Amino acid sequence: MSTIRLLTASTGKAGEKTLQIEQLAKSLQSINSGWLDILNPGEAEKQFMLDELGFHPLAVEDCFADPVDRAEHYDNHRFVVLKARDADSELDTEYLLVFLSDSLLVTVRNTVLPSVERFRGRYRSIRRQKRLERGPEFLLYELLDSVADDWMDILSTYSDKLDDLEDRVFDPHTRYSNLLESLHQLKQDLREIQKSIIPFQNIVGRLMRPDEEFISKENHLYFRDLADVIKGLVIRVENYSAGAASTRDTYLSEVSVRLSESNSRLSEVMTTLTVIGSIMLPLSLIAAIFGMNVSAFGAGEGDLGLTEILLLMAGFAGIMLFYFYRKGWIGPQK
């Protein structure tokens, strides 16, 4: 079911009405500057925009299809399509379609958008009434500025997330789980934000082009300020994305260093065991030969005593240790 709200600022204090489509034509007759917000439009609202408001059929059709981000200047009105953040999710976006006539700003949407509710709060603020009386064109600036401020709040939370992840990566005393997954998710979220902010920047840039004659000279300064704000958002997203990538690379480098250290310790242990095994093998052979019950090499006859056999084993061990040392397998590494 559609919801239609009409807000005006003609009396110096915003008045808001929730109307039925049958009441709308009469309510718009005496309005010099106002905002008409249509949520979940239906066939009746479509016909009203075509017949009563005189909007271009192509623009009206975009309200009931999958549009693209664009800005168009028709004979009797201007038309802007952009993405704004959905209230149901932190990063999901929905299209916001804006019609701009001489006396009316019309927004059409199919879901609740935090930026529209922010704009509604601005519109109802008495402090802003004199500025809002500048006309629908200035209302468009306030609406787009509300979208930019909404993204700025979201980016502030991601700045805190990135700082927290950086502290965890460089914490030498604690090992945190799922750090790589968190960094990857952060970078992916920033990529999604960038997909919405870059087209937004392009839309505002097109609005300010002199050949488009979309914005009047008296409001051009405000839109230039808005363009600077959006440019700052784009730079922040790029910086945060670069910071996330740098933090991820640092984390992977630390993991690689720890793995190398572990492999080095394992290699030292294996080298020690190999040296011990290599020395014990010939000593075991000597002990086995002289321990046999046969008359060979003096075995079993007592010609060679225990001392001589131990000296023989020690000699073999010394020769092998000297050989390993010369090869560089043991001792200080050159």
Is residue 82 within 8 A of residue 203, CB to CB? The reply is yes
Query: What pLDDT score does 223 carry?
Result: 92
C-alpha 198: how far from its chain's center? 14
Confidence of residue 188 (pLDDT cuts 50, 70, 90): confident
Query: What pLDDT score does 303 carry?
Result: 54
Confidence of residue 173 (pLDDT cuts 50, 70, 90): confident
- Who wins on pLDDT, 286 or 185? 185
Query: Rounded CA gap, 36 and 228, in Å?
Result: 28
- What are the beta bridge partners of residue 71? 80
Alpha helices in the chain (DSSP H): 21-27, 43-51, 57-62, 114-123, 129-132, 136-169, 179-207, 217-290, 306-327
- Tokens matching residue 165: 């992840």
C-alpha 62: how far from its chain's center? 29
* 33 CB-side CA count, 13 A: 19
70 closest CA partner among 204, 196, 193: 204
Taking the CA atoms of 213, 216, 220 and 222 in sequence, report the sign of the dihedral they define: negative
- Tokens matching residue 313: 């084993």
Domains, in order of start, for the chain? 3-256 (3.30.460.20), 265-327 (1.20.58.340)
Query: Rounded CA gap, 252 and 258, in Å?
Result: 10
Average pLDDT over residues 173-191: 81
Looking up tokens 């009434």, which residue turns up?
Answer: 129
Is residue 111 within 8 A of residue 94, CB to CB? The reply is yes
Q: Is 303 helix (H, G, I), strand (E, B) or coil?
A: coil
State the pTM of this model.
0.74
Is residue 149 within 8 A of residue 113, CB to CB? The reply is no
Residues 213-262 have pLDDT tens digits of 888 888 899 999 999 999 999 999 999 888 888 888 777 777 777 777 77
What does the mean pLDDT of the chain come to? Answer: 82
Residues 94-139 have pLDDT tens digits of 999 999 998 889 999 999 999 999 988 887 775 666 666 778 888 8
Query: What pLDDT score does 13 carry?
Result: 47
- Tokens matching residue 333: 């590494």
Q: Is 211 helix (H, G, I), strand (E, B) or coil?
A: helix
- Tokens matching residue 301: 């006859």
Among 5-14, 22-31, 76-85, name the one with the lowest average pLDDT: 5-14
Query: What pLDDT score does 12 carry?
Result: 42
